[in-house]
Structure 1
Amino acid sequence: MSASTSHHPLAFAFGVLGNIASFIVFLAPLPTFWRVYKKKSTEGFQSVPYVFALFTATIWIYYAFLKSNEILLITINSFGCVIETIYIAIYLTYATKQARVSTLRLLFLVHFGGFCLIFLLAHFLSQGPTRVAVLGWVCVTFSVSVFAAPLSAMKMVIRTKSVEFMPFNLSFFLTLSALMWLSYGLLLKDLYVATPNIVGFSFGLVQMALYAKYRNNKTNVEEKLPEQKADVVKQMTILTTTPELEVQVQAAVSSHANSTDAHPSSEHNNDQYMHAQTCHNEKIIEPSMAGQLVTCEV
């Protein structure tokens, strides 16, 4: 038990529980990358969420070392760095040349350029407690921005009155993780840990409320859309992680392109394509770090 938690056994307990919940959230994209491995293709989904998840975990580790005696922050974010690195490595292995180059460029820009800038701000333009404060607010900024990702999912739930676009298990563990880390931050009077998790927990409660309200309305989407469009919506139901929706939507769009070449006058195919393309353009659920960051990277 670290010095900072030795006088706060309850804080230590919440930190351990937060590690467990965050561990589960970090593993959420595994089915997506298993499919990538099996198909030997990234199917067009983006690497951006995983690049920023890796960066956020990295700066939280930096914050924890700078503050000292924050072993619980170091353990979960170290795991986060490892698992996100694995995800990115798999992506780079099976991505197209253009996607691979874009990912490597983003990695260099964010992890080298971004981290160097943060290092300069923390070590040369500030000292002592101010240094921790500067880095703490950088961590807060990145973490809070992550919690905006589920907003598009909540918007779609309200719009369709269906929870098919919002996986309960992921929402539950994100909420639980935020609660654990919020409690940890409050007990240790660590504003930088507590602040982003206030946002995360609040959004989590809203998601739980939406799920409770619309959980029995699974037929609403079919009632509001023509039969062929409802079929496309069903195919886009999220089972595990938000990036999976992006993959499924793009697959539907690609499928349409092939089918219309053979049957250019098919109204059924055109309706499916238009609905899939609309959902994709509106970004029903951003394939973002919400799939993995979360408060696990407190």
Structure 2
Amino acid sequence: MAISQAVLATVFGILGNIISFFVCLAPIPTFVRIYKRKSSEGYQSIPYVISLFSAMLWMYYAMIKKDAMMLITINSFAFVIQIVYISLYFFYAPKKEKTLTVKFVLFVDVLGFGAIFVLTYFLVHANKRVHVLGYICMVFALSVFVAPLGIIRKVIKTKSAEFMPFGLSFFLTLSAVMWFFYGLLLKDMNIALPNVLGFIFGVLQMILFLIYKKPGTKVLEPPGIKLQDISEHVVDVVRLSTMVCNSQMRTLVPQDSADMEATIDIDEKIRGDIEKIKDDKEAFLISKN
């Protein structure tokens, strides 16, 4: 008995939802840390703002398309969880970061999405609306999928994969496969095409991880830079699929050689000062006796 394309699409959509659901929860340890320390600790809100925009955009597309329920379910969850993340971040962030967060939300999620909604809903004919909106979603997804090039370049340059988690790359690649077949079975290239790029970059990241992984070594974290920087979130924003939330996994940023040399010089100076103090103390005790 042959299985219909609709049934297969539903199966791949459910699998994509399951994987994307758990990856959407990946930032929870970050926010537990923020909650315990009552501080945003230098983390950035931009990735969550972009993820919220992505969820809104793909929900709108799925509602106009009408036969992509799997997109609505995961993006509805992504929409809610990103609002929770942004709210928690806003509550514990310093005043300057709160102001920036409000500006990003207004500019990207309110004005950006609002402009797309007005243009496509009121100025585009109903028969062409889904196609125009689909192109917008695809261009947005493709532009974000290019982000891993920065991480890949850094891995090759530093010959270290310590800041590129293998597990994250694996699940993002697996997610891209699920959503690719979901879009393919729906004959929707707006969903399928960006995930081809996501699969390629995901496999490339895993290969680079295996090549440059150095067991037992750590990449030092430079002062003032947290584990989660801009690249981390833009790398994985919308990488779960063409529509899902970003993975918000924290990445390590390696120090460059100049920083390392400066750190070594400081350490040597401190050691020298300690030795001098010890010598002075011993000389004082000898003279006293």
Which TM-score band (shorter chain)? 0.7 to 0.9
CA contact (8 A) 1:29 1:292 kept: no
Cα deviation digits, residues 209-262 of structure 1 (max 9, x gap): 2123233x346xx7xxxxxxxxxx5344xxxxxxxxxxxx4xx23xxxxxxxxx
2:38 match:
40
> Which residues of 2 match residues 3-152 of structure 1 at below 5 A?
7-152=5-150
Secondary structure class of the residue paired with 1:185: helix
Using the alignment, how far apart are the partners of 1:146 and 1:26 within structure 2? 17
Cα deviation digits, residues 83-118 of structure 1 (max 9, x gap): 111110000000111111111121112122112211
Using the alignment, how far apart are the partners of 2:146 and 2:40 within structure 1? 25
- 2:210 matched to 1:287? no
Cα deviation digits, residues 184-230 of structure 1 (max 9, x gap): 11111101101211111111111122123233x346xx7xxxxxxxx
Cα deviation digits, residues 119-155 of structure 1 (max 9, x gap): 1221222113311111111111221222223222212
Secondary structure class of the residue paired with 2:203: helix
Counterpart of 1:134 in structure 2: which amino acid? V
Secondary structure class of the residue paired with 1:193: helix
CA contact (8 A) 2:176 2:239 kept: yes
Using the alignment, how far apart are the partners of 2:142 and 2:199 within structure 1? 11
CA contact (8 A) 1:61 1:74 kept: yes
Using the alignment, how far apart are the partners of 2:179 and 2:5 within structure 1? 17
- 2:219 matched to 1:234? yes
Aligned residues between the structures = 241
RMSD: 2.4
Counterpart of 2:219 in structure 1: which amino acid? K
Using the alignment, how far apart are the partners of 2:108 and 2:163 within structure 1? 30
CA contact (8 A) 1:57 1:81 kept: yes
TM-score, length-scaled by structure 1? 0.74
CA contact (8 A) 2:172 2:240 kept: yes
> How much does 1:289 deviate?
3.8
Using the alignment, how far apart are the partners of 1:205 and 1:184 within structure 2? 19
Where relative contact order (Cα < 8 A, 6+ residues apart) is larger, the structure is 1
Which consecutive unaligned segments of at least 5 residues does structure 2 have?
245-289
* Greater share of residues in helix: 1
Within the candidate set 207, 210, 230, 1:209 is matched to: 207
Counterpart of 1:286 in structure 2: which amino acid? S
Cα deviation digits, residues 15-37 of structure 1 (max 9, x gap): 11111111122111111111111
Counterpart of 1:16 in structure 2: which amino acid? I
Larger Rg: 2
CA contact (8 A) 1:149 1:289 kept: yes
CA contact (8 A) 1:18 1:177 kept: yes
CA contact (8 A) 1:28 1:291 kept: no
Of 165-174 and 117-126, deviating more is 117-126
> How much does 1:156 deviate?
2.0
> How much does 1:287 deviate?
3.3
Counterpart of 1:293 in structure 2: which amino acid? V
CA contact (8 A) 1:60 1:77 kept: yes
Which consecutive unaligned segments of at least 5 residues does structure 1 have?
223-232, 237-248, 254-275
State the identity %: 48
Using the alignment, how far apart are the partners of 1:185 and 1:7 within structure 2? 11
> How much does 1:160 deviate?
2.6
> How much does 1:181 deviate?
0.3
Using the alignment, how far apart are the partners of 2:179 and 2:231 within structure 1? 24
CA contact (8 A) 1:24 1:173 kept: no
